[in-house]
Amino acid sequence: MMNNDKPFSFDDYNNEDNFHKIDDFQEINHQPLGNSTIYTTQETEDEGFVPTSNGSTTTVQNKDSNFVFFYGTSASGKSVILSAILYYMNSYAGVLRPKLGSPNSREAHVLLADFFENIKRGILPNRSTRDQVTRLDFVFDPNNKSKKVLPVSLSFLETNGENHNEISRGGKYHESIDAYLNSDIPLNFIIVTSYDRAHQEDAKIVEFLDYLERKGKNLKNVNVLLVISKWDKSGSMGVDNEQHLENFISERLSMTNNRIDTYNLNKTYFTIGNVQNQGGVEKITLLNLESAEVISKWLYNNIVGYDLDYEGTFWEKIKFSFSK
């Protein structure tokens, strides 16, 4: 586990070079976004997620992967974060391809195309369907040429926010969700709460962490990332320093913060960029992928043990220098 590598570096998020105008998105030269490290949404009709797995499934098929489980109540921003991560991975960090032999490889390919088309148009994803797990199976091929930076299988799991309310007061998840939490599979957890509702969800997040403990997931040995989404609602696209985020979490999420400190878990913030209301529908008018880059690099490092932008071994560096 790599939880001791705290994902923080505070770049200048006010630099307009970090943003892309939606109208000009087709013309962007896809170069790396630069170094960064760890620190929303109105649904539109007939857009967004389509369930890709059977809600009555009680056992997990195709366990040979690294699973990424998103926790967050309704409208927390989970779907936006997922689509931004997929876009960053496939546009800047390498190539995402559907995993052959997975039960939903064709559906994953369709959803991936929908995500990319929508994000270019500034359309925010819809929420997921209740009592079903949206499972997206991919192989991620990094564009880093070092032999240490290997391809990795990723299975993203996202559920409807209303399902997460079911574990309140000793309840339990729908069987389609519990199947993954009960299975002996590599699980990484991304816990999402929004800037404007974090103070209302402190107890719910703690209930989820307790639920994981009851399922035998020792938080000292599990990759967990807390993400404060919709950070743009603070009036800023970033934070002044690490203490800025620390203060927000300790004030708004005191019980969750205690768990984070006790188990040495990771935390960051997320923004998709500028979001404006256009005709009663919220749309992205200026896209920022820095937050997606941060989360993607955290995820890869925790799974593989090497940074996504690892510069290579001594001999690889010499080889790369001659190949330029």
163: closest CA among 129, 187, 190?
129
Please tell me the predicted confidence (pLDDT) of residue 290: 94
Query: What dihedral angle (degrees, nearest 10) is formed by the CA atoms of 251, 3, 38, 235?
Result: -10
Handedness of CA 170, 68, 78, 58 (dihedral sign): negative
Q: Is 202 left (phi over 0), alpha (psi -120 to 50) or beta?
A: alpha
Rounded to 5°, the CA angle 284-237-16 comes to 75
Residue-wise pLDDT for 59-93, tens only, equals: 788 889 999 999 988 888 898 999 999 999 999 99
| Sheet of strand 187-194, all strands in order from the earlier edge strand to the far edge | 94-98, 133-142, 152-159, 66-71, 187-194, 223-229, 266-269
Q: DSSP letters of 70-124?
A: EE--TTSSHHHHHHHHHHHIIIIIEEEEEPTT-TTHHHHHHHHHHHHHHHHTTBP
Residues of the chain with pLDDT under 50: 1-57
In single-letter form, the type of residue at position 61 comes to: Q
**What count of Cα atoms within 13 Å lies in the side-chain half-sphere of residue 266?**
28
Q: Which CATH class is domain 16-323?
A: alpha beta
Residue-wise pLDDT for 242-274, tens only, equals: 889 999 999 999 999 999 999 999 999 999 988
Residue 278 CB coordination number (10 Å): 11
**What tokens appear for 134 in the block?**
């949206």
User: Furthest-apart CA pair in the chain: how many Å?
Assistant: 62
E strand residue ranges, the chain: 19-21, 66-71, 94-98, 133-142, 152-159, 187-194, 223-229, 266-269, 273-278, 281-288
